[in-house]
Chain A
Amino acid sequence: MTDTPLFQYTLRLADTALILGHRLSEWVGYSPVIEEDLAFGNMGLDLIGQARALYTYAGEIEGKGRDEDALAYLRDVASYRNLLIVEQPNGDFTATMVRQFLYAAFAFPYFERLARGKDATLAAIAAKAVKEMAYHQRHAAEWTIRLGDGTEESHARAQGSLDELWPYTGEMFEVDAVERALIDAGVAVDPMGVRDTWEKTIGDVLAEATLTRPRDGTMQSGGRSGRHGEHLGHILADLQYMQRAYPGAAW
């Protein structure tokens, strides 16, 4: 068994990117306007690209011959290590944008730091991802501002989405034993190091959006150890169907 901390850590980053990328891809063909259809598609492909690079590296670390497809398509719910926030249902356009903003405002400074980390491969993947997450943050923030400070209805929907998603933000800053050792070694990023940046970004945007920052209550947790809600199983059924039904199928 080569289930090392570095493998686990890389898998967590990959799973989070894949599941959020898949969620965004669900909008393609359904967005309110074609411009945002393309925006969701673009952001989804950014994330799936990040996932592919991370899965490939995870497979190399593990050294058991699993490639990106094996890791993405042939693991069950309990083996997935993504943050719970990314598996939440898309809801309406507002909810998807608010989720994208909450995550991107975290991922952007997080990848900035990972790009300076001691693992050369993770640093290189992060250096590419940081530019992508910068745009995700900007796009989702601009929408959050316009929806929050828009009509009575858009404001209510934005505040509702924010309140609903907030309990999933705490998990982004959790550190367990797996990550602690890698943080101390300078490989992984200490998420608490980007907390202030995240809080400031969130605070500035919510203020402009006339939205109220929810209070930190009980936070949801468990994605990192494979304890997921009911939604991930449905995502994987959709995502993995082809490889499960036709093992080894290729283009």
Chain B
Amino acid sequence: MSDKNWPLWEVFIRTRNGLAHRHVGSVHAVDATMALHAARDTYTRRGEGLSVWVVPSNAITASDPADKDMMFEPTATKIYRHPTFYEIPDDVGHM
């Protein structure tokens, strides 16, 4: 048996209620059900998870690293988009 033909799956785990699923790594598995098992066995061994998602890696459309100037550079000069110019009243608490 070889894993070279097994599809790759990206694994996302939600650790607590209210938090978002976070990418933790990937597994090889023959199909979605087994990918879920593999993700559970590989990434939740220390009580990390309440919920697991697996997504076929080839279903993810990624940005091209060569485009990073075009994609991300223009935001660098727009510091006014950060909400750091406002004073938050104490009554508001954590935002």
Contacts and interface: CB of A to CB of B under 8 A. Distances in A.
A35 B42 contact: yes
A38 interface: yes
A34 B38 CA distance: 9
B28 interface: yes
B41 A33 contact: no
Given A33-B3, A33-B28, A142-B34, 6 more contacts: A35-B27, A35-B37, A35-B38, A39-B38, A139-B41, A143-B34
A32 B41 contact: no
Contacts of A146: 30-31, 34
A121 B1 CA distance: 43
Interface string A42-60: 1000000000000000000
Contacts of A138: 37
B33 interface: yes
B45 interface: yes
Given A32-B1, A33-B1, A39 B6 contact: no
Pick the 5 closest A-B CB pairs, nearest first.
Answer: A35-B38, A32-B1, A39-B41, A33-B3, A38-B41
A93 interface: yes
